[in-house]
Amino acid sequence: MDNILKTLTAEQRTRIDDEVRDAYDFDPRDPLFGLSRNDLSGSEMKRRTVLRLLAAGGTLTALQLVPGVLGGSGELQAAGKAGGTLTCGWAGVGEIRTIDPAQINQVLQFQIASNVLSGLMHIDASLVGKPDLTEGFEVSSDGTEYTFKLREGVTFHNGDKFTADDVLFTYNRSKDPKKSIHSRILKNVKEVTKVNDYTVKFKLGRAQASFLTKTLERASGRAMTIVSRGGIEKLGVQQYGLTPVGTGPFKITFHELGQGVILEKNENYYDPSRPKLDKVIIKPIIAAEPLAAAIEAGDIKLIGGNPPAAELIDRFKSNPDLVVKEAPGPGFQAVWMNPHRDPFKVADFNVPLPELMKQKGFKVRLAIAKALDRERYLKQARFGRGYPAYGSINPAMGYYFDENLGDDSNQKFDVKEAQKLLAEAGFPGGKGFPELTLGATVQNRRDAQVVASILKRNLGIKVKVETKDSPVLLQDFLAMRYDMMRIGSGGDYDPDDGVVDWMQTNSKFNGAKRDKSKMKFGYWSEDEADKLIATQSVEANVKERKALVQKANKITSDKVACAFLYHPMDIKVWHKSVNVPAESLIPALVDLDRTTLS
Amino acid sequence: MTRYMLKRTIGAVIVMWAVATLVFFMLRIVPGDPIAAMLFDVGDPAAAEEIKEKLGLDKPMYVQYAKWFLLVLQGDLGNSIYGSNIQVNRLIAEAAPRTLSLATLSFIVATMIAIPAGLIAATRKNSNLDHGVTFFAFLGLSMPDFWLAILLIIVFAANLHWLPAIGYVPLSEGFWPWFSHLILPSIAVGTAFSAIVARMIRSAMLEVMKSDFMQVARSKGLRENTLIMIHAFPNALIPVVTVMGIAFALLMSGAVVVENVFSIKGLGRMLIQGILNRDYPVVQGTILIISAIFVFTNLLVDMVYTLIDPRIRYDK
Amino acid sequence: MTEQTLAAIETETPPSLRRPGFMSVVKSDKKALVGLIVLAIFLATAILAPLISPYDPNDMDFEMMEAPSMVHPLGTDDLGRDLLSRIIHGTQISLFVGISTVAISLFFGVALGVAAGYYGGWLDNIIMRYIDLQWAFPNFIIAVYLVAVFGSGLLNVIIAISLAFLDDFARIARGMVLVIKEEQYVAAARTVGTSDFCIMWRHIAPNAVAPIIVQATVSISYAILGEASLSFLGLGVEVDTPTWGLILAEGRSFISRAWWLGVFPGVAIMLTVLSINFLGDGLRDYLDVRETGDPGAS
C-alpha cells in the first residue's frame, strides 16, 4: 500500500494530505459531519462532500485519493466499443442459489444482483454511497430524517413504473423476517412514508453514519434493494429468486441452477449511456483447475464469485493475456481455542493482563497465538495472498485499521517466548501436551494443515486436523464443541462487522448455542471490551470511534480472544480484451455496467 | 410371465419406498443444522425460527415424514431449503437431462469402442491384437475415472484448447456445443464401462464359437465373416445384456465423480451438494430418482433378457 | 442382479476335481505373475513404509512444488511435503482400506448369504429384502451417502465401503448355497444328522469358495478405487492421513504447475488396481469361474 504512495510527487502527496485533513475536520457532535444541508442534498455531491462522508464513515485513507485509485477522480478510461457478449466464470461455486435480495446471503450472489437491481444508493469504488434511484435527498438537522426525491421515468424490466410505492413495498417486505433474512438491518428505521409518488421519507431511531452506505446500499445491504411487486406477483417468490425483475442496467433472460445466468442489456436503463455490453453470460465453476483452464483457453473472460484460489494468482499474473488486480479484502481469519477445555482453560478474562499471564491456561493460549508464524502461514497456505492479522479490524476498513497492532500486540510472533510460555505451563518442548483436534471446513483443510504444521514445528505439539461439512462445523462452533477451530469472517466493511459481531459477550457468534448452564460465556467475555464496543457503535465522532475501536481490538488481541491469523485479499482477474474502468472496481463487487470489450 | 413382471414391478416400488424412508430418517438424525449454516453470516435467530417454521422443520420428525410422503404420492418432491426454495421437481427436471446426456453418450462411445475391440480380440484369439485389447481393457478398468478426467482436461482443454474444459450446454443450443462439452466427460465415464463390455464380448464370443450350432453352421460352409456377424455375434450379445444393469450403475457412479470435475450440475453433483449442505428435500428427491432409474433399468434389462433369450422362463 | 444371472456364476468344475497347483498356473499365466509381483512389491512397501520412507509424510519442511530430483525423487507437493514419502505411506492406507473392507464385507456378506440360502423361509425373505434394498443403488453412491451422513474418517470410510459391498457377497454366497444344497453329499450329510452349522462350515462353504475368492479380489480393487474417489470428493479419510486419493485431490489444483502431483499418485492407484485385476483374472481362469461382468464394479 505504502509503495503506491511513495511513487507520488511531493506536490501530489501534499495535496492528498490536505484533502484527508480537511475531510476529517468537523465537529464530532454534528450529525451532518460539518456539511451543510445543501452539501448533502442535491443530485451531485461535491468531491469535498464525498470525502467528508467517507471520513465520517471512517473509511477514508490517503490511498483512496491517489489519482486513478479513487473512482471518478476524473481519470479517462481507454474506451472499448459498445456491444458484444462477455462470458464470466463465477469461481468456487456450483450454482447461484438465489438473486432475490431478500434471500441473498453470499457475496457472489449480490455481485449479480447489483447488475440487475437498483437501490436508492450505490457505493462507488471508494465505498462512498452515490445516488442510484434518487435524484437527491435532504437530511434533517438532527440527522434522523432523510427525504429522498426519487428518479422519475424509471421502469422495471417488465415495464412497470418505479414509484414511491415500490420503496414502501420493498421496505415492508424486507422488515418481515418471514420474507427476508435481512430484517435486522432495518431495525434503526422507525418509519417510511410516502410523501408523493416520487418522494419518500425515512425516520430513523438515531443518527447513523452508515445509513446511506449500508442500509440503503443496493448490493451489500440487500435490505433496501428495490424489488418489483409486479414481478414477484407474476413469477412467484421461487422464480423471482432465479430471475428477479429490477430496474438495473441488465435484465435476466435465463437462469438455470448449476447451468448459469444470462444477463441482457436493459434498453430502458435510466442512464442511456449504460450498459455498454449487450449480453453477459455467467457460469458457475466450482473447482480451481477448470476455472484456470477456462480463462486460459478464453472460454471465460472475467472471474467473479468467490476470490479465485490463491495458488492460481501467480499463474494468472504470469499470463500476459490476463489482468490481475489485488487489494485488501474485508474479513479476518483466526484459530479459536475453547476456554472451557484443557489445556486452554480460562475461568474469567476479567482480571488484569499481568495476572492473566500467570495462569496456565492463558499461557497455553498465548503460546499458540505467539507461535503462529503468520508470514510463513501466508506464504505456504495462501501463496503470499493476504495480510497478517492480530485483531478483527481489517485493512480494507481503512481508517480504523491499526497498522501498529502487529508490533504492539501481546500476540506478536515470537517463537522463543512462545516456547517459554508453553514450558511454564508444564509442557516443555510440547512434552505431555494432549493431542488436540483442530476443526475446519472441507474447503479450509489445506489451510488447517499448515496451522498444524507450524504449531508442530514451533512448539512441538501435535494437532489433529478434522474437517467437517460447514453445517456441522458451524453448529459445533456455536455450541462450543471443539478444542480448536479454524474459522473466520468475511464481508466486514464496518468495525461493527468485526467487533460487535464477534468480540462481545453477547456477539451472535460467541457460543450462541452453548449449554448456558455449564458455560458462563462462549469463546470469550471481557467487560471492558464489551463496554468499548457498545460505545463505539453509537459514537458519531469518528476520531473517538477510531480510538474506541482500536482499544477494544487491542484488548481482544492481548487477552487472546482467539489467535488471529490473517486478513484476506480481494483479487479481480479478467482477460485483457475486457476493459474494466477504475470506477467499476468496487471492493468485492463485479459491476459490469461500464465494462466494454475491445 | 405377466404375473412375474407385475410382481417384480411391485417389488421395485416397495424397494423404492423403503429406500426413501430410510434416507429420510437417516438424514435427520445426523448432526448439522442447514438453517444455522445458511444464516451464519446474517446471524438473526428470529430469521432462523421463521425459516424453520416456513419449511416445516420445526415439526416432529414423523409429521414431517407423513407430510413429505403424501406430497411424494402426488408427485411433489418438496422444495430446496436454500435460496429461493426452488422445487426439487424442477431441479431434477433440469439436472436429469445432463446426467442422461452424459450417461447415454458415455454408453455410445463405450460400446462403439468395446464391440469392435471385443470382436477383434475374440476372432484373433491370442494374437498381439488380442493381447493389446486385453491390456487396454485392464488399463481402462484400473484408472480412477476422476484421474482420467483431470488428465483429459489438462491435455485437451488446457494445453491443446481443442475442447471446452467444463460445463454443459443443452442440446437446444445446437449439436456441436452440446456434444463438444460432453466428449471429455463421456470418455472419463465410459472408459471403465468400455473395458468391461469388451471383455464380456470377447469371452461370450469365444464361448459361442465353440458351441455345437456354430460347428454345424461352419460345416454348412458359411464364410467365417458371415458366421461371426450373423450367427455368433447376436448370440454373444445375450450375456452382455445381463450386465447392462451393472453397467448403468457404473455409469451413474462415474457420473457422480466426473460431473464434479467438469462442473456439470447433473443428478450426481446435485446429490453430493445436497448431502454436504444438508438440503434434506434435495437429497431425498435425488436419491429417489436415482434409485428409480436404477431399479427400473434392472427391471427393463430382465424383460429384454427374457425376450431375447427364449431359454429363460419365469414360472414361479 | 437377478436369479438367472447368478446361475451363471456357478462353477462348472465338480468341487472334488483336483486342480493343478496355483503356482504352476501363475507361472504359465504371465499376467497373473506380473500382477503377483507388483502386488508383492506394494505390500512390502506398505509393511515397511515407516522404514523406507525418506521423510515424515506430513512434514512441510521443504520448498513448495519442487520438481523430482535426487533429494526428492518424486518432487514435493504444494505444501512442501515429500511426495515419495506420502505415496509410500499412502500405500499403507490404500491397501489397508482395500483388504479390510473386503474382509469385513466378505465375512458378513457370506454369513448373511449362507444363512439365507441354507435356511430359506422367512430368514431368507428378510435378508433378501434388505439385499434388494441395497441393490437399488450403485455401490459407490451408497458409500458416498454413508460417509456423508456419518462423517468422514478412516473407520467410517471402511465401514461405508464394506456395507456397500455386502450385498454382492451375500448374493453370490446365497446363490451358491442354493445350488450346492441340492447336491447329494449335502443331502447325505443331513441324513446322517450332521448339525446345520457343521454342514454349512464343512460342506457348503468350501465349495462356494471359488467364485467368492474371485469376487473378493475384484472387490479389493474397487474398494481402493472407491476410497480414492471418496477422498477425491472430500468425503474420505482424515486430512493428515495421506492416501492416494487425497494426495490427488489435494494436488489437483497444482497439476499444471507441478505435473508430478497429478501423475505419480494416479499411477500408484492404477498399478495396484491393475495388478489386482491381473491376479484376479488369473484366479478366475484357475478356479474356472465364468466372467459375469464384475458386480463389484457398481
| The three grid cell numbers given for residue A267, joined into one nine-digit string | 434498453
Calpha distance A230→A160 (Å, rounded): 7
- What's the pLDDT tens digit per position in A546-577? 899 999 999 999 999 999 999 998 888 999 99
Cell of A14: 501534499
pLDDT recorded at residue C27: 67
Which residues on C lie below 8 Å from A312 (Cβ)? Answer: 253
pLDDT of A11 higher than 70? no
Q: What is the pLDDT of residue B274?
A: 83
Q: How many CB atoms lie within 10 A of CB A160?
A: 17
Taking each helix axis from N to C end, the angle separating C259-287 and C30-52, rounded to the nearest 10 degrees, works out to 130
Q: Which pLDDT does position C295 carry in this prediction?
A: 38
In the three-class reduction of DSSP (H, G, I as helix; E, B as strand; rest coil), residue C76 is classed as strand
For residue B143, the enclosing domain spans 94-308
d(CA B52, CA B32): 14
Assess whether the previous peptide bond of C15 is cis (omega < 30° from 0): no
> Whose CA is closest to C164, among C245, C205, C125, C219?
C219
A297 touches chain B (CB under 8 A): yes
Query: Which H or E run contains A324?
Result: strand A322-328
C7 has a pLDDT exceeding 90: no
A410: pLDDT strictly greater than 90: yes
Q: Beta strand A279-285 with A85-91: parallel, antiparallel or unpaired? A: parallel
CA distance C204 to chain A (A): 45
B147 and C2 within 8 Å at the Cβ level: the answer is no
Q: Return the higher-pLDDT residue of C285 and A61.
A: C285
> Does some domain include residue C169?
yes
Q: Which of C1, C255, C292 sits opposite B154 (nearest CB)?
A: C255
The chains found to touch C (3+ Cβ pairs under 8 angstroms) are A, B
Residue A472, all three cell numbers: 456441522
Residues of chain C contacting A, Cβ within 8 Å: 58-61, 64, 78-80, 148, 151-152, 234, 238-240, 250, 252-257
CB contact under 8 A, C262 and B154: yes
- Is B250 in Cβ contact with C138 (below 8 Å)? yes
Q: Which of C131, C225, C250, C264 to mutate to test the interface with B (most CBs of B within 10 A)?
A: C225
Give tens-digit pLDDT for C73-82: 999 988 889 9
CB-nearest to B256 from C141, C225, C278 is C141
The pLDDT of residue A540? 62
Q: Which residues of A touch B276 (CB under 8 A)?
A: 442, 469-470
Residue B133 belongs to a domain: yes
**HEC string of A393-454?**
CCHHHHHHCCCCHHHHCCCCCCHHHHHHHHHHCCCHHHCCCCCEEEEEEHHHHHHHHHHHHH
Residue C147 structural domain: 32-48+79-287
Q: Does C253 contact A448 at a Cβ distance shorter than 8 Å?
A: no
Question: Which pLDDT tens digit goes with each residue over A443-482?
Answer: 788 889 999 999 999 999 999 998 877 777 888 898 899 9
Q: Please report, rounded to a whole number, the percentage of residues in chain A having pLDDT higher than 90.
A: 49
From chain A, pick out residues whose CB is under 8 angstroms from the CB of B47: 177, 180-181, 183-184
Contacts of B260 in chain C (CB under 8 A): 233
B39 to chain A: closest CA residue: A105
Q: How many CB pairs under 8 A join B and C?
A: 145
Q: Say how far apart CA B40 and CA A470 lie, in whole Å.
A: 10
Q: Among A130, A1, A114, A141, which Cα is nearest to A65's?
A: A1
For residue B150, the chain C residues in CB contact (below 8 A) are 248, 252, 255, 262
User: What domain count does chain C have?
Assistant: 1
Q: Where are the alpha helices (DSSP H) in C16-153?
A: 22-28, 30-52, 83-119, 121-135, 139-150
Cell numbers linked to A162: 418505479
Mean pLDDT of the region A220-225: 79
Test C60 with A380 for CB contact under 8 angstroms: yes
Terminal-residue alpha carbon distance, chain C = 11
Give yes or no for a cis peptide into A568 (omega within 30° of 0): no
Evaluate whether residue C268 is within a structural domain.
yes
Q: How confident is the model at residue C121 (pLDDT cuts 50, 70, 90)?
A: confident
Cell (9 digits) for B255: 457420473
In a domain, B73, yes or no: no
In this predicted structure, what is the pLDDT of residue A23?
64
Q: How confident is the model at residue C105 (pLDDT cuts 50, 70, 90)?
A: very high
Q: What average pLDDT score do residues A306-329 get?
A: 87
Nearest CB neighbour to B143, from listed C256, C270, C298: C270
Note the pLDDT of residue C67.
Answer: 87
Contact A321, A403 (CB under 8 A): no
Contacts of B278 in chain C (CB under 8 A): none
pLDDT at C13 over 50: no
Of C4, C141, C266, the CB nearest to B147: C266
Q: Between chain A and chain B, how many beta carbons pairs sit less than 8 Å apart?
A: 154
Output the average pLDDT for chain C: 80
**Would you call C120 an interface residue with chain B, using a CB distance cutoff of 8 Å?**
no
CATH of residue C260's domain is: 1.10.3720.10
Cβ-defined contact of B166 to A294 (cutoff 8 Å): yes
> Shortest Cα distance from B182 to chain A (angstroms)?
14
Mean pLDDT across C174-202: 76
Q: Determine which of A388-397, A460-469, B135-144, C252-261 has the lowest per-residue pLDDT on average.
A: C252-261
Question: How high is the pLDDT of residue C12?
Answer: 38
Per CB-CB distance under 8 Å, the chain C contacts of B141 are: 221, 273-274, 277
Contact flag C2-B30 (C-beta cutoff 8 Å):
no
H or E element that contains A484: strand A484-490
Chain B residues touching C150 at Cβ < 8 A: 30
E strands, A4-48, are none
CA C143 to CA C153: how far, in whole Å? 13
CATH for A332-567, among 3.10.105.10, 3.30.70.980, 3.40.50.920, 3.90.550.10? 3.10.105.10
In a domain, B289, yes or no: yes
The top-scoring range by mean pLDDT among A334-343, A541-550, C47-56 is A334-343
Q: What ipTM was estimated for this complex?
A: 0.80
Instruction: Indicate the number of domains in chain B.
Output: 1
For residue B34, being part of any structural domain is answered with: no
pLDDT digits (tens, 9 = 90+) for A16-52: 666 666 666 655 445 556 565 555 554 445 556 666 6
A292 and C151 in contact by Cβ < 8 A? no
Inter-residue contact A260 to A580 (CB < 8 Å): no
Q: In this complex, which of C2, C144, C248 lies closest to B147 when CB atoms are compared?
A: C248
A380 shares contact with chain C (CB less than 8 Å):
yes
pLDDT confidence tier of residue A149, bands split at 50, 70 and 90: very high
**Chain B contact set for C291 (CB, 8 A):** 199-200, 203
- pLDDT band at C17, cuts 50/70/90? very low
Least Cα separation, residue C136 to chain B (angstroms): 5
Q: Tens digit of pLDDT for each residue in A241-286?
A: 999 999 999 999 999 887 889 999 999 999 999 999 999 999 988 7
Ranges of residues in chain B whose predicted pLDDT is under 50 = 314-316
Is residue B197 in some structural domain?
yes
Q: Which residues of B touch C281 (CB under 8 A)?
A: 138
Is C296's Cβ below 8 Å from some Cβ in B? no
Query: Domains of chain A: which residue ranges?
Result: 2-65, 85-328+571-597, 332-567
152-171 of B, contacting C, C-beta below 8 A: 154, 158
In a domain, C23, yes or no: no
* Domain A85-328+571-597, CATH homologous superfamily name and number: Periplasmic binding protein-like II (3.40.190.10)
CATH of the domain at B117: 1.10.3720.10
Using alpha carbons, select from A521, A452, A518, A519 the residue that is nearest to residue A485. A452
Q: Which of B19, B147, B252 sits opposite C269 (nearest CB)?
A: B147
Check A446 against C78: CB less than 8 A apart: yes
CB A118 within 8 Å of CB A217? no
Residues of C in contact with A442 (CB under 8 A): 234
Identify the burial level of B315 via C-beta atoms within 10 angstroms of its C-beta, where 0-12 means exposed, 13-18 middle and 19 or more buried.
Answer: exposed
Per CB-CB distance under 8 Å, the chain B contacts of A290 are 153, 165-166, 261-263
Q: Is C133 on the interface with B (CB under 8 A)?
A: yes
